[in-house]
């Protein structure tokens, strides 16, 4: 079954599309895809901001910028529209939330708290939560003065594509949950009698948690929650509001995958989840597809020819073996892709051939954009 073709240029030119979210499991080329889409959209007249989460920091080099940080920076030399790029700093984004919603003294106490520093830097789900938070900030800026009419988001390099949808809710529930409030109860204080009763009822629990976490860590948690108390109710609400933005009529999801079983299995799960959550799916980008230059020369014929040549024509024999390897790889990839298409026959697909080198500059990103448009 042949999948419908994903019209990339039609997607980028659609002025009713304001957000494109590139999702997929780690290592499938989301960052390069997001950057190439952003560049192509800008060259076609859109005013674009691309938000990347890229630990290798290749995007800045490819766009001719000395660095990327938590603030959108204009990319020079773009003809047609405008392009700004940024890299998510999850700790800085978390700090911005604290600074915006707490009094200066309380904000300082939170920022200096060891538990907060660990939470904002490495706690599971923080990066996904802050990616969605930053998307919300960028959308708000676009509505109140910034000129972006398209925001393209490169999601965190998670093991599972579903982490982008699930982790923010988990973190929001943790920050607004009962357990962390119980941990904070002794530090918050109360009336003399109620405090005595509370401490008696929580004594065994606190003692057990102290043994598990360590007394200092437990104190850090309690002091953090005491300082953070004014912000608690907002975190689950903020996660739900930002999640709702992903269901907005102007949002589109692009699922990015490599033509390998694990990656396409993740892509299939993600497509099913988007359908369940009624989130708008634009299609699938199938990256690093093996190109075949001589499709009429079968792998079996090429290998037989290489055997007949033996050692007399070593170079030609090696080229025939290389062709056979590529034909077999292409056949395997096609079978894997066909299983996805069979499960999701209405999902449009754009295929991008594997390139010999990594992308290092705007010209390379432009090449990827051309390949995406050809599908």
pLDDT at 179: 54
Q: How does pLDDT run across 185-221, given as a tens digit for each residue?
A: 554 444 443 444 434 443 443 454 444 445 555 666 6
| Architecture, CATH, for domain 8-374 | 3-Layer(aba) Sandwich (3.40)
Digit-coded pLDDT (tens) for 80-136: 999 999 988 888 888 888 888 778 888 888 888 887 888 787 776 778 878 888 888
Radius of gyration for the chain, computed over Cα atoms and rounded to the nearest angstrom: 25
Average model confidence (pLDDT) across the chain:
81
| Interval 39-50: pLDDT, tens | 999 999 999 999
Q: What is the pLDDT of residue 260?
A: 94
For the full predicted model, state whether its pTM sits above 0.75.
yes
Domain boundaries, the chain: 8-374
221/183 Cα distance (integer angstroms): 7
Is the pLDDT assigned to residue 373 strictly greater than 90?
Answer: yes
For the chain, what percent of residues have pLDDT higher than 90? 33
Question: Who wins on pLDDT, 37 or 358?
Answer: 37
| pLDDT score at 356 | 79
Q: State residue 81's pLDDT score.
A: 93
């Amino acid at each position: 079954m042949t999948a419908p073709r994903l019209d990339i240029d039609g997607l980028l030119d659609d002025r009713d599309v304001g957000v494109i979210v590139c999702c997929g499991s780690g290592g499938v080329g989301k960052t390069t895809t997001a950057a190439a889409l952003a560049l192509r959209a800008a060259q076609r007249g859109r005013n674009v901001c691309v938000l990347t989460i890229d630990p290798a920091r290749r995007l800045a080099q490819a766009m001719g910028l000395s660095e990327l940080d938590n603030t959108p920076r204009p990319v020079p030399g773009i003809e047609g529209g405008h392009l700004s790029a940024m890299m998510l700093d999850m700790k800085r984004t978390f700090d911005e939330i604290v600074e915006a919603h707490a009094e200066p003294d309380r904000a300082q106490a939170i920022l200096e708290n060891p538990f907060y520093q660990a939470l904002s830097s490495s706690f599971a789900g923080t990066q996904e939560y802050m990616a969605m938070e930053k998307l919300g900030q960028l959308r708000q800026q676009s509505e109140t003065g910034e000129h972006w009419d398209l925001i393209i988001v490169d999601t965190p390099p998670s093991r599972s594509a579903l982490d982008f949808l699930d982790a923010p809710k988990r973190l929001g529930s943790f920050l607004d949950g009962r357990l962390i409030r119980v941990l904070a109860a002794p530090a918050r204080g109360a009336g003399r009698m109620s405090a005595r009763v509370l401490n008696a009822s929580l004594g065994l629990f606190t003692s057990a948690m102290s043994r598990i976490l360590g007394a200092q860590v437990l104190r850090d948690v309690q002091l953090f929650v005491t300082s953070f108390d004014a912000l608690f109710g907002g975190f689950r609400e903020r996660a739900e509001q930002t999640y709702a933005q992903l269901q907005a009529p102007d949002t589109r999801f692009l699922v990015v995958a490599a033509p390998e079983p694990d990656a396409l299995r993740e892509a299939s799960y993600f497509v099913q989840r988007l359908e369940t959550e009624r989130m708008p799916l634009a299609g699938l980008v199938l990256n690093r597809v093996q190109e075949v230059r001589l499709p009429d020369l079968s792998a079996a014929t090429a290998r037989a020819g290489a055997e007949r040549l033996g050692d007399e024509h070593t170079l030609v024999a090696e080229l025939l073996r290389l062709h056979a390897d590529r034909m077999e790889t292409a056949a395997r990839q096609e079978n894997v892709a066909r299983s996805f298409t069979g499960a999701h026959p209405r999902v449009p697909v754009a295929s991008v051939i594997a390139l010999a080198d990594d992308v290092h500059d705007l010209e390379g990103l432009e090449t990827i954009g051309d390949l995406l448009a050809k599908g």
